[in-house]
């Protein structure tokens, strides 16, 4: 396969997206693939954890007794709910990871069935899932280590605050200002880690069942050889989807408002008509409102897939097209060499 530059890959990816989604065109297939594209590109990105602590004060200053007054049963329920949320989130992330490999199979082989890729890549997808978990935990540890000095600073600032008073704004600004570049740096690190994992390392796991070390070694050598092209690629990978989303929003703002206003007016009219109803009439009014609510949700879902599906598919095609010119195994699948080459 020819090695396309980061800028040339844009138009090639547009062509591949058009061929994949619209030639031939089938509404059911288009909606299915668009939904999968949105799920795989919009979920499971850099996982972040945050915690908030609350302070309750009385006339005598900051107090910390309410949390300790919580009964053991309530604490157990809270802990169980948190653990359940974590388990569900991890399971959903695993499903999204499997789905990413299945969608990768569709795009690489130009097929539109999700099930074959779901089965074929079960083992490498599972290993890639655990790699993501390890990378995510390392990222979380980095965030915690960086945050510790600031947490202690904020703790001292508010602990030394006089009862009923305010924190020293000079000290507060002195703590907040250094946080801004650090937060931006952490966001950049998280984004780059996610991009490298999904765009560059995933193909090695899928096509060669590579280990993390093998995949990273190949990726790093490729980045070192073409630093400028990778820089432009990352820049376009961020900017172009944002530009596309803004353009779609502007174009569809008025039709969307008209449709939302019409459905809202219908629901309001039904609600007003049945406001004083009782018995069977009230049930009919509730059912009608629920029907139009579901209808509005359906239109919103279809519109999101119709708009977001092609953009999300283009993002993945762009990654495949660019890296396929630098990873021969992937490139030969995207553009099989002529017989005898």
Would the pLDDT of 246 be above 70? Answer: yes
In-domain check, residue 339: no
In-domain check, residue 276: yes
Q: Kindly state the helix (H) or strand (E) to which residue 104 belongs, with its residue range.
A: helix 72-109
Rounded CA separation 119/101 (Å): 10
Q: What percent of the chain has pLDDT over 90?
A: 51
In-domain check, residue 96: yes
In-domain check, residue 132: yes
With cut-offs at 50, 70 and 90, classify the pLDDT of residue 164.
Answer: low
Which residues in 260-291 are b (16+ Cβ under 10 Å) and which e? eeebeeebeebeeebeeeeeeeeeebeebbee
In-domain check, residue 1: no
Q: Where are the beta strands (DSSP E) in the chain?
A: 56-58, 61-63
Q: What percent of the chain has pLDDT over 70?
A: 84
In-domain check, residue 315: yes
With cut-offs at 50, 70 and 90, classify the pLDDT of residue 3.
Answer: confident
What pLDDT is attached to residue 299? 83
What does the pLDDT look like over 73-104, one tens digit per residue? 888 889 899 999 999 999 999 999 999 999 99
Rounded CA separation 210/197 (Å): 13
Closest CA to 203 of 287, 34, 316, 70: 316
In-domain check, residue 161: yes
Residue 257 neighbours by CB under 8 Å, 6+ apart: none
In-domain check, residue 285: yes
Give how far the C-alpha of residue 208 lies from the chain's centroid of Cα atoms, to the nearest Å. Answer: 26
The total of structural domains in the chain comes to 1
Residue 194 neighbours by CB under 8 Å, 6+ apart: 45, 46
What pLDDT is attached to residue 151? 76
What does the pLDDT look like over 261-295, one tens digit per residue? 887 788 778 777 777 777 777 777 788 878 877 88
User: Which residue range forms the structural domain that includes residue 270?
Assistant: 8-53+60-334
pTM, two decimals, is: 0.78
Higher-scoring residue by pLDDT: 256, 335: 335
């Amino acid at each position: 396969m020819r090695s396309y530059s980061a800028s040339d890959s844009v138009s090639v990816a547009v062509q591949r997206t058009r061929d994949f989604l619209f030639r031939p065109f089938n509404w059911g297939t288009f909606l299915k693939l668009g939904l999968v594209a949105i799920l795989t590109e919009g979920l499971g990105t850099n996982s972040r954890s945050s915690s908030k602590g609350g302070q309750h004060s009385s006339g005598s200053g900051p107090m910390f007794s309410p949390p300790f007054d919580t009964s053991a049963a309530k604490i157990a329920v809270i802990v169980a709910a948190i653990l359940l949320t974590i388990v569900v989130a991890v399971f959903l992330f695993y499903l999204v990871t499997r789905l990413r490999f299945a969608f990768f199979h569709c795009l690489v082989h130009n097929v539109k069935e999700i099930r074959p890729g779901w089965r074929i890549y079960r083992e490498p997808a599972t290993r890639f899932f655990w790699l993501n978990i390890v990378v995510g935990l390392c990222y979380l540890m980095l965030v915690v280590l960086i945050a510790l000095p600031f947490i202690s600073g904020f703790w001292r600032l508010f602990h030394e605050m006089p009862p009923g008073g305010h924190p020293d704004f000079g000290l507060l600004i002195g703590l907040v200002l250094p946080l801004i570049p650090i937060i931006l740096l952490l966001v950049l690190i998280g984004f780059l880690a996610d991009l490298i994992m999904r765009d560059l390392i995933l193909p090695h796991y899928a096509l060669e069942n590579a280990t993390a070390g093998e995949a990273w070694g190949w990726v790093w050598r490729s980045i070192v050889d073409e630093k400028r092209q990778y820089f432009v690629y990352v820049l376009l990978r961020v900017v172009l989807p944002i530009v596309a989303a803004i353009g779609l929003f502007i174009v569809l703002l008025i039709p969307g408002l008209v449709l939302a206003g019409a459905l809202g007016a219908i629901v309001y009219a039904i609600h007003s008509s049945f406001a004083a109803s009782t018995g069977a009439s009230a049930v009919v009014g509730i059912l009608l409102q629920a029907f139009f609510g579901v209808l509005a949700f359906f239109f919103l879902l279809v519109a999101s897939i119709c708009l977001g599906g092609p953009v999300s598919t283009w993002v993945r095609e762009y990654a495949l097209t660019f890296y396929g010119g630098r990873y021969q195994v992937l490139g030969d699948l995207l553009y099989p060499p002529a017989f005898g080459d």
